Structure 1
Amino acid sequence: MGSKEDQSSAGGGGFFSSIAAGVRSWGTAVHKSVNGLMGYEGLEVINPEGGNEDAEAEALRGRWKQEDRDSYWKMMHKYIGADVTSLVTLPVIIFEPMSMLQRMAEILEYSELLNKADECDDPYMRLAYTASWFVSNYYALQRTWKPFNPILGETFEVINHCGVTFIAEQVSHHPPMSVGHGENEHFTYDITSKLKTKFLGNSVDVYPVGRTRLVLKKSGHVFDLVPPPTKVNNLIFGRTWVDSPGELVLTNLTTGEKAVLYFHPCGWFGQGRFEVDGYVYSSEEEPKVLMAGKFNESMSCQPCDLEGEPLPGTELKELWRCLPSPANDKYQYTHFAHKLNSFDTAPKGLLPSDSRLRPDRFALEKGDMSKSGSEKSRLEEKQRAEKRMREARNDKFTPRWFNLTEDITPTPWGDLEVYEFNGKYTEHRAQIESSTALTDADPTAIEFNPWQYPDESE
């Protein structure tokens, strides 16, 4: 076993990582270059399952038709090395019928883990429950379909999911920034999120520039998250798949304790894919609890000694298990993702800026690709028209539910402006709930309206 410093820098080290180190040394997922397809020389097709298939045959197994693939590659190859977050208009063929704001809300699915953390008196188990909650979201992040970029001013509401209220809002278009606030009797959760990307030809690296603040109400402890980056492989050629190798670091800012979990890279024949292991450390950087599992299955923990070895007489305790998902679901949705998209879960008095109301999202959900594409183009042009109008009037966009603070927080991938929840949404919901006028309103009849100038931007 290495020293504590070695363990920490290795993303946990010790008992589980020492086993995995041998596995990782076998190699990585099979990289093959496509050389025989006209104009595609040198592009890598990465097969996580290994195998000896011809690279050209593997390249043609993606969701694209040949003519669409050719056209998209002609458009995209000039952006190699660039941040394509806001540069490229993407076809709806690669989209799922959900916006990024809805994706943000998927972390709420296992919020009972935070309820347990808040009730837990053991500081290390409290951190283990909290870290498992953040790990639980990675199953949803493995979906290979892209969510719609939110329109500036777009919102998404979740009311009373296991007692949790959540509101998200798109506060910036260039660069794209989303802000969310969730709360129940046990915790508050706040996130400012800005994605940074690097396009690499047949893959894209995604860097989660963001700040997360989680507060457990019983203890008052504040937690900060630094997640690993993500890589989307076989973006154009081959079967798309997602990997998130690297460290997740969750720090208790109140006490100095932290959890450091290592997300293993995908190795030969998928070896190591989905695996996570690491430790909960004391404020003195001593390992106290080892954690291990797979983010598509479960996470468990066990008390450990100062060398990171399991304490004698203790057993692994399962903290979280992934719920079953619908079989053969086109978009690989969980049951919870379907609930988030459903008007059955829309609150009374749904904001007209809500993601569920987007006509391009709704058309894609109904399988009408042509209408989805045309509506997406119409919304994007309307957004550009509003930008021109703001510039002509020397106006600024002001979010409704969040305020820009003076804080600039450093992240491993760049500095970030921080937004905070302003409390106005809580007042808004109180007024809605006390009103009887909207009881029977049909949310599907509401026209999508996130616009700053709703009567002038056509």
Structure 2
Amino acid sequence: MLVSAVVKNELNWLKDAYTWSNVQCCVHNLIVGKLWMEQVGTMEICSHASGQRAQLTFKQAGSNGKDLHRVEGFIFDKQKHKQFFLYGKWTEFLKCTDNNSYEEYLKENGSKHHSCNSKSSKSPNDSPSHTSKKVLQKLNSLKLSSFKSMSVAESMDDPTEIPEVSVPRSDSAYSIDIPNSTLIWKVNPRPQHSSDYYQFTEFAMSLNELETDMEKTLCPTDSRLRPDIRKLEQGDIDGAAIEKTRLEEKQRAANKNMKTKKIEWKPRWFDQGINPYNKQEDWIFNGKYWGRQYTDPEIF
């Protein structure tokens, strides 16, 4: 899965803006085996005030899982000179060291560590999303009945093309710790009983929370106000299911009415225009949301 949109984060207090694009999200074992995912590819983060940019490589797990979730790359100055080396796991931590310390480490431990700029590194095009045409043709030619009448091994001519069925484990023994490194980010531990709630983080668990007096300032169409969401938060699963069905039917009726009357929907809080940073067409926030002058349709 590839999300091609450019993400923008404006920091007014720094008078700076950062833009970046997401890497590929590869989901494995869609047909057979336990589902697992990894992020693969190259991400470039640009500071538009300083001209600095970070180029990070999200590594592919590989057959032995040694590089599962590993990410590394460099921060470059405006003249494209390397300043810092970043490394770690996007699921655990991220460290940073100056480029001189990295070069010294590389001289002493070159055989143990292959950086993202070495010739042996895999290109993002080597990721699972770039499966060979031969394999894709075989998968497309298979029908549902084929899976009922034969095993996975029988459905493939070449044993090496059997879909992966196991989840690789990251090799914790393969770890680097470069001198003069600084820990710049570490994942927060999961809350207690997270395993009972789809492994949600504390942030994910709090997304639907309504604090005191929040309803007075929220836009009436805010998803936290959905009746089915409120019932889920209260533990009323059956009531939430009923509300969800009602809302879906109401939405279908509203869409049908708009098509019949040829009503064209116009976004309220965003206008289409040219992104000032990458000069591409984009949806630009118009700031009207903060006026709190809501005349929204009653969608719930």
Task: Give the TM-score taking structure 1 as reference length.
Answer: 0.43
The structure with higher relative contact order (CA 8 Å, sep 6+) is 1
Q: Which residue of structure 2 aligns with residue 318 of structure 1? A: 183
Aligned partner of residue 247 in structure 2, secondary structure: helix
TM-score normalised to the size of structure 2? Answer: 0.63
The residue that corresponds to 1:419 in the other structure is: 283
Match of 2:211 in 1: 344
Q: For residue 225 of structure 1, what is the amino acid of its counterpart? A: W
Write 1 or 2 for the structure with the bigger share of strand.
1
CA contact (8 A) 2:9 2:18 kept: yes
Q: Does residue 89 of structure 2 align to residue 294 of structure 1?
A: yes
**Higher mean C-alpha deviation, range 379-388 or range 301-310:** 301-310
The match for 2:267 is 399
Alignment partner of 1:343: what SS?
coil
On the 8 A contact 1:211/1:409 being kept in 2, the answer is no
| Structure 1 gap ranges (5+) | 1-205, 433-449
8 Å contact kept, 1:223–1:253: yes
Matched ranges for 1:204-243 at <5 A: 206-235=1-30, 237-243=32-38
CA distance in 2, matches of 1:309, 1:392: 69
The residue matched to 1:325 in structure 2 has which SS?
coil
Task: Quote the residue 2:164 is aligned against.
Answer: none
What is the identity percentage for the equivalent residue pairs of Structure 1 and Structure 2? 30
Matched residues in 2 for 1:271 and 1:384: separation? 48
Aligned pair 1:358/2:226, yes or no?
A: yes
The CA RMSD over aligned residues, in Å, is: 3.7
- Using the alignment, how far apart are the partners of 2:204 and 2:219 within structure 1? 20
Q: Following the alignment from structure 1 to structure 2, what is the Cα–Cα distance between the partners of residues 421 and 367?
A: 35
- The higher radius of gyration belongs to 2
> Larger deviation: 397-406 or 364-373?
364-373
Measured at CA, do residues 314 and 373 of structure 1 come closer, stay the same or move farther in structure 2, by a change above 3 Å? same
CA distance in 2, matches of 1:222, 1:305: 28
Map residues 43-442 of structure 1 onto 2, 5 A cutoff.
Answer: 206-235=1-30, 237-268=32-63, 270-305=65-100, 308-309=103-104, 315-329=180-194, 330-344=197-211, 347-349=214-216, 350-364=218-232, 372-405=240-273, 417-428=281-292
**Higher mean Cα deviation, 303-312 or 330-339?**
303-312
> Which blocks of at least 5 consecutive residues in structure 2 are unaligned?
108-177
Q: Tell whether the 8 Å contact from 1:276 to 1:294 is kept in structure 2 after alignment.
A: yes
Instruction: Name the aligned partner's letter for residue 182 of structure 2.
Output: K
1:334-355 deviations in Å (ceiling 9; x for gaps)? 1122222222377241333122
Displacement of 1:408 in angstroms is: 11
